[in-house]
Amino acid sequence: MLTRSQSLRPAAAPGAAVAMLVALMILEERGFNPASAMLIALTAAVAAAELIPVPAIIFAFGALGLQAMGAFPSVMFSGATPYVALPLLFFFATLAWREPQRWPVPLAALAASALITVNWFADTTWINFVFGKQLAEAGTLRIAVYAFLVFASFSALNLAGWAAAAAARQAATNRQAKERAELRLESTAVALAIEQERNRIARELHDVLAHSLAVITAQAEGIRYAHRTEPESVEEAAGIIASAARTALQETRRLVQSYGSELEEPAPGAADLHALVERLKDSGMPVEIQTAGLEGLSPVENLTVYRIVQESLTNAFKHGDRSAGATVTAEREASGLRLRIRSRLVVGGTSVPASGTGRGLPGMRERATAAGGKLTTVTEGQLFEVEAILP
């Protein structure tokens, strides 16, 4: 619809001019004779106003000037109705105005009103007919008042045409600005979505690979020392390595498939925590887990719980005292699900900073926040605790 209206816009000014010319000729029973010269000249200026606004305005002033000099029929013969074309002239000229200065059009509207006033008062027969008095006998002040009324009336008409077009231009400018802002907003939203997706993938890859590689590294180091004295344990360690690598490969494939398409495999959740715990137990870190409160979780909550527990236990496995193990508890409270993972740091070792310097702890906090909850970490001596509350 907008494209169609824009395609019809060049015909608006000529169409309005022709319609006005025909209507006034019919109403006043005019013909194409000298008395219609002013009407034809002004409607011609209207027809060209949007295509060539400056020449159209100059042409209209030329017609008014010729009437003032007597070259065109006086107002008494041409009538006052041709002047109603001037508001249309300034309307279409303002729509098409491309000059940086906007003041010439309203100034031209006032100047045209002044010239019309001169033409009216130059035709004494017409002005006496309009006011029903012999103005020649009136005082100078009264004539000035009458002249001001005529000037003000035509100024209001001409400026109304200019103001209407200025308002239409401003509305079009505002609409275009709004469309540009919406495009920028859409572009920003797309960029934000891409950045969020990148962060999500980076966080998922970190959680998947950090855990699996920690288990694989621990088992591989064990094989180095145990293959001579305990050859039977090598097969068990190799099985754990293969299981951890297979799990990492599956989750990585699931993650890659999730980019821009539907998941073919379900994301891990609370039901997979026992398998996670068993891998860590087989790698030498005992873990006690209580999952009575992990019932009825949504898919997002399921994945959030799994990743928080996975990252916490991986940190305990890498940085903590493996022999002391870890405990995982989940409790339902009025505020929501309270998840605690406790472990012990190595005596004399480097403590895990509560603020987190890598992607692990910040990633867990982001997950908890995205699920509407919060996550905190506390270090008391050798005890390290991660607590997450998910409403």
pLDDT in tens, 334-346: 778 888 888 888 7
Provide the strand spans (E) within the chain: 287-290, 326-333, 336-344, 374-380, 383-390
Q: Kindly report whether the global pTM for this prediction surpasses the value 0.85.
A: no
Q: What is the mean pLDDT of residues 61-86?
A: 87
Residue 74 has pLDDT above 50, yes or no: yes
Determine contact, residues 69/31, Cβ cutoff 8 Å.
Answer: no
Per-residue pLDDT, 375:
87
Q: What is the mean pLDDT of residues 235-240?
A: 65
Comparison of pLDDT for 257 and 127, the residue scoring more = 127
Per-residue pLDDT, 355:
43
Domains and CATH numbers, the chain: 2-186 (no CATH), 285-391 (3.30.565.10)
Q: What is the mean pLDDT of residues 146-159?
A: 90
Q: What is the mean pLDDT of residues 258-281?
A: 70
Name the residue type at position 303. Answer: L
Residue 228 has pLDDT above 70, yes or no: no
**Rounded Cα distance, 192 and 190, in Å:** 5
Sign of CA dihedral 168, 170, 175, 179: positive
User: pLDDT band at 192, cuts 50/70/90?
Assistant: confident
Q: What is the mean pLDDT of residues 350-366?
A: 60
Question: In 3D, which of 122, 34, 100 has the Cα closest to residue 73?
Answer: 34
**Percent of the chain beyond pLDDT 90?**
12
Per-residue pLDDT, 125:
83
Q: How far is CA 221 from CA 215, 242, 323, in A?
A: 10, 15, 16
